[in-house]
């Protein structure tokens, strides 16, 4: 009789402990993802590398499922929370390089809380759409992968060609795209010259993109006191929410599955469709959705293709992997909690009222320069200076800053065509 009871209880007991491990991993991941998301210029990949370095100890303490859940939950949470520093401080990372522009502009108009809440809503909508789409990609796309691998470079050339031709100043647009592309290829090719204290060779993206889209913007930003922050509700209709979130999710799914692409590439493509200057709120919705969708599709690509699309997936590949469904549950739970956390953090906008913009900008620039030196050393500092100088050109030439995305797109094109420069 005792044996029968034991057998009957085993499935329930196993499921119960699996859920306990998922919840523990999710809560820890939300905490860590919130911390990494709030520190400007620090990507969750840095956190993943740190946790991976201590995996022997952490596996003993947490177990493989809880540790893997922690990593994935931190990645999902980071995609929500990173909108806070990008909005209020104007500092981008590799995933918010273009979306920071309209978000920070709204902050300078006193609508910073609305910008953060809009970004959180886009990420939440992406979670609802991306999870089932990721399952479909996992089931049906691996057979088509050879065709995808071949066509990436051609697709990007077509997109950027259209953007340049439609620009008000095609000559300046082409020049900025080309020079930023050369700078991006140079930076990635010689990334080994950086210190890589905790972020790996991809840490050089931090000074590259921060110079192009962060410091160069802060240097020409308004220098007076920040306006009073007030929240009057989300000024975006349901149709725009649905359309922009779906569009961003599809872009995030595409760049997350296709090789060599990133959310930054999706941001550039979305800029040609929506335009971050024409409709700021729609663009924030779309790019935030793309960022979160990219995280979910990265998990599907890991299990379907054994390809690691970001540092967190590299770290997961080094662990005894649980099932994809278990990690997806952790990701969904993390997204729900991260939305609540991000909305709560957005309410701190009122504390910025009356702060001197010049002093704040200087403090942020000094912080970023110091962080750049710590993460990448003298090489990163040189990249930061060059990127900042180049980032000032669009302002002086009155051209959209989107063409600075050549820093990411050109290396991806070279990678797609098998050119060994990067």
> What total number of domains does the chain contain?
1
- Are the beta carbons of 90 and 209 closer than 8 angstroms? no
| pLDDT one-digit tens code per residue, 255-300 | 888 765 667 667 777 877 787 667 889 999 999 999 999 999 989 9
Give 3-state DSSP helix, strand, coil % of the chain, rounded to 5.
Answer: 80, 0, 20
State whether residue 230 is helix, strand or coil: coil
- How high is the pLDDT of residue 136? 93
Indicate whether 346 belongs to any domain: yes
Alpha helices in 63-110 (DSSP H): 64-81, 83-88, 100-108
Indicate whether 422 belongs to any domain: no
- How high is the pLDDT of residue 410? 85
Signed CA dihedral, 406, 120, 84, 36: sign only: negative
- Please count the other Cβ atoms lying within 10 Å of the Cβ belonging to residue 263: 32
- How high is the pLDDT of residue 1? 39
Question: Could you tell me which residues come within 8 angstroms of residue 224 by beta carbon, excluding any fewer than 6 positions away?
Answer: 356, 357, 358
| pLDDT one-digit tens code per residue, 104-159 | 788 888 888 999 999 999 999 999 999 999 999 999 888 887 777 667 778 778 87
Residue 324 burial by Cβ neighbours in a 10 Å radius (0-12, 13-18, 19+)? middle
- How high is the pLDDT of residue 125? 96
Indicate whether 18 belongs to any domain: yes
Domain with 338 in it: 2-416
Indicate whether 421 belongs to any domain: no
- How high is the pLDDT of residue 335? 97
Rg of the chain on CA atoms, in Å: 21
**Three state DSSP letters for 6-64:** HHHHHHHHHHHHHHHHHHHHHHHHHHHHHHHHHCCCCCHHHHHHHHHHCHHHHHHHHCH
- How high is the pLDDT of residue 356? 65
| Whole-angstrom distance, CA of residue 221 vs CA of residue 216 | 9
- 228: DSSP letter: P
Structure tokens at 221: 């930003």
| Mean pLDDT per 10-residue segment, the chain (422 residues) | 43 79 94 84 61 68 88 93 82 58 82 92 95 92 77 78 83 92 90 68 73 78 67 89 94 81 71 76 93 92 81 77 92 97 85 65 80 84 93 85 80 76 55
- How high is the pLDDT of residue 259? 66
- How high is the pLDDT of residue 285? 94
- How high is the pLDDT of residue 201? 54
Indicate whether 307 belongs to any domain: yes
Cross-strand partners of 356: 225
């Amino acid at each position: 009789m005792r044996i029968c009871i034991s057998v009957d209880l085993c499935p329930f007991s196993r499921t119960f402990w699996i859920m306990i491990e998922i919840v523990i991993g999710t809560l820890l991941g939300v905490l860590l993802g919130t911390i990494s998301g709030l520190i400007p210029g620090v990507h969750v990949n840095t956190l993943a590398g740190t946790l991976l370095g201590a995996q022997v100890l952490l596996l003993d303490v947490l177990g493989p499922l809880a540790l893997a859940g922690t990593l994935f939950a931190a990645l999902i949470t980071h995609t929500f929370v990173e909108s806070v520093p990008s909005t209020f401080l104007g500092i981008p990372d590799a995933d918010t390089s273009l979306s920071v522009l309209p978000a920070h502009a709204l902050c300078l108009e006193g609508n910073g809380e609305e910008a953060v809440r809009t970004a959180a809503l886009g990420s939440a909508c992406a979670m609802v759409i991306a999870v089932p789409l990721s399952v479909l990609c996992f089931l049906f796309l691996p057979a088509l992968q050879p065709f995808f691998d071949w066509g990436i470079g051609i697709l990007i050339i077509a997109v950027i060609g259209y953007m340049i031709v439609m620009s008000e100043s095609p000559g300046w647009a082409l020049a900025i795209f080309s020079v930023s592309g050369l700078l991006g290829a140079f930076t990635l090719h010689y990334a080994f010259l950086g210190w890589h204290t905790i972020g790996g060779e991809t840490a050089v993206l931090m000074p590259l993109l921060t110079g192009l889209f962060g410091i160069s913007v802060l240097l020409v930003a308004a220098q007076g006191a920040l306006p009073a922050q007030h929240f009057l509700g989300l000024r975006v209709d349901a149709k725009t929410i649905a359309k922009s979130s779906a569009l961003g999710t599809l872009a995030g799914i595409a760049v997350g599955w296709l090789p060599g692409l990133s959310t930054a590439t999706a941001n550039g493509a979305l800029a040609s469709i929506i335009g971050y200057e024409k409709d700021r709120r729609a663009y924030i919705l779309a790019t935030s959705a793309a960022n979160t969708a990219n995280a979910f599709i990265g998990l599907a690509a890991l299990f379907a293709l054994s390809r690691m699309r970001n540092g967190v997936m590299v770290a997961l590949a080094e662990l005894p992997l649980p099932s994809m469904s278990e990690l997806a549950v952790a990701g969904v739970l993390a997204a729900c909690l991260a939305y609540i956390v991000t909305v709560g953090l957005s309410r701190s906008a009122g504390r910025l009222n009356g702060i001197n913009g010049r002093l704040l900008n200087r403090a942020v620039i000094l912080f970023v320069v110091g962080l750049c030196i710590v993460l990448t050393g003298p090489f990163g500092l040189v990249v930061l200076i060059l990127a900042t100088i180049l980032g000032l050109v669009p302002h002086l030439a009155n051209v959209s800053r989107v063409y600075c995305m050549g820093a990411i797109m050109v290396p991806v094109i070279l990678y797609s065509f098998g050119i060994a420069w990067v």
